[in-house]
Amino acid sequence: MNASEPIGTAVIGAGYWGPNLVRNFSASPAFRLRWLCDLDVGRARRVLGGYSTVGVTGDLREVLADPAVQAVAIATPAGTHLEVALSALRAGKHVLVEKPLAATYEEGRRLVEEAEDRGLTLMCDHTYCYTPAVLRIRELLRSGELGELHFLDSVRINLGLVQRDIDVLWDLAPHDLSILDFVLPEGVTPVTVSAHGADGIGAGRACVAYLTLRLSNGAIAHIHVNWLSPVKIRTAIFGGSKRTLVWDDLNPSQRLAIYDRGVDVASPEELGDEQRRDILISYRSGDMVAPALTEREALRTMVEEYARAITTKTPALTDGRSGLRVLGLLQAASRSLGEGGTTIRIDEGHMA
């Protein structure tokens, strides 16, 4: 591949998410979109419009046989990710996969190992990680500006579409788990997870779920996902030892707010001999700052990161390994849900 030329790419899948990928790859100077592949060729043609020069096919083999295609973006159902992505990797193509990376942890591991063995880029499209708000949250947590993370409370609820093949956990929680994996400081990882859910409408799968994760630094993360709420809420609170950050994704005028308010506890070394048995607690009430964010489509940033990873031969911010970690958390949470909320220890080397 000539580094000075656009990367020839193909989008696989023209359903719900495929058109968004088509639009962003077509607009990127780093890529040249050559194919849109979908079993429903008529649908693919409608996505492209009548004047497109992009090829349309219902045959994946035709796409993978084209030497002008160096990379693919897969937007097909999760159950097909292993087969489609493996075929692309074995054809020597770089691969971007819509979340989740695969249907199971074991399938995801096969994809990661295949890509690493072949020296190819494998990236997971965890779109929320590329929003300006989440990129800033990552920066604030990793720089230490918020201090040590003490807690995360995340709410992702709405009157949503009850899925036929997956529960609310697999539908909505990948967003929050991928964000958590993305923003945590180096060395801080989930060590246990437990999940509780309910199916109040008789759908045959959990429509409401609560996840609790313990982190290696002693912090706790709590995630609430819900298909049955009459109101839509997308908020997360990151409580740090220095400051607390509130993210309201539905408030474009103030998505982030940083509060210099919290609880301070004096350490025994700071107290006199007679005070050492008592912990001194004080409450801090400072200013609130709303950082300015430049609004930018997350998919555009994600596509640029895919190009950067391919051309520099370095892992993407949301590479296959990050997608695998999220799969591991989902699978452990599903096991906990099925066992009535038991606590599952996270072991990246072996996911039950």
Alpha carbons 24 and 40: distance in angstroms, whole number: 21
Quote the mean pLDDT of the chain. Answer: 92
More reliable by pLDDT, 328 or 279: 328
β-strand partners of 95 = 72, 122
Q: pLDDT tens digit string along 94-152? A: 999 999 999 999 999 999 999 999 999 999 999 999 999 999 999 999 999 999 999 99
Cis geometry, peptide bond prior to residue 100 (ω within 30 degrees of 0): yes
Residues 168 and 229 in one domain: yes
Are the C-beta atoms of 214 and 191 separated by less than 8 Å? Answer: yes
Residues 46 and 98 in one domain: yes
Residues 106 and 70 in one domain: yes
Residues 147 and 284 in one domain: yes
Q: How many domains does the chain have?
A: 2
Q: Is the pLDDT of residue 345 over 90?
A: yes
Residues 234 and 291 in one domain: yes
Q: Is the pLDDT of residue 350 over 70?
A: no
Alpha carbons 239 and 130: distance in angstroms, whole number: 21
Any idea of the CA torsion for 54, 302, 156, 320, to the nearest 10 degrees? 100
Are the C-beta atoms of 159 and 232 separated by less than 8 Å? Answer: yes
What angle do the packed helices 81-90 and 105-118 form, to 10 degrees? 10
Q: Which of 73, 102, 127 is the last residue of a domain?
A: 127
Alpha carbons 80 and 63: distance in angstroms, whole number: 16
Are the C-beta atoms of 336 and 194 separated by less than 8 Å? Answer: yes
Whether 315 is in a domain gets the answer no
Q: Is the pLDDT of residue 249 over 80?
A: yes
Residues 158 and 276 in one domain: yes
Please tell me the predicted confidence (pLDDT) of residue 165. Answer: 81
Please tell me the predicted confidence (pLDDT) of residue 352. Answer: 41
What is the residue range of 171's domain? 129-297+329-345
Q: Which of 127, 145, 172 is the last residue of a domain?
A: 127
Are the C-beta atoms of 305 and 28 separated by less than 8 Å? Answer: no
Residues 149 and 105 in one domain: no
Whether 324 is in a domain gets the answer no
Residues 193 and 336 in one domain: yes
What is the DSSP-derived secondary structure letter of residue 49? Answer: -
Please tell me the predicted confidence (pLDDT) of residue 267. Answer: 64
Q: pLDDT tens digit string along 261-281? A: 767 666 656 555 555 555 666
Question: pTM, whole model, 2 decimals?
Answer: 0.90
Percent above pLDDT 90 for the chain? 84
Residues 161 and 211 in one domain: yes
Please tell me the predicted confidence (pLDDT) of residue 4. Answer: 73
Q: pLDDT tens digit string along 287-327? A: 889 999 988 999 999 999 999 999 999 999 999 999 999 99
CATH of residue 118: 3.40.50.720
Percent above pLDDT 70 for the chain? 91
Residues 42 and 158 in one domain: no
Q: Which of 63, 93, 127 is the last residue of a domain?
A: 127
Residues 100 and 175 in one domain: no
Alpha carbons 283 and 59: distance in angstroms, whole number: 64
CATH of residue 151: 3.30.360.10
Range 186-219 burial, b when 16+ CB lie within 10 A, else e: eebbbeebbbebebeeeeebbbbbbbbbbbeeeb
Q: How many CB atoms lie within 10 A of CB 139?
A: 12
Residues 114 and 198 in one domain: no
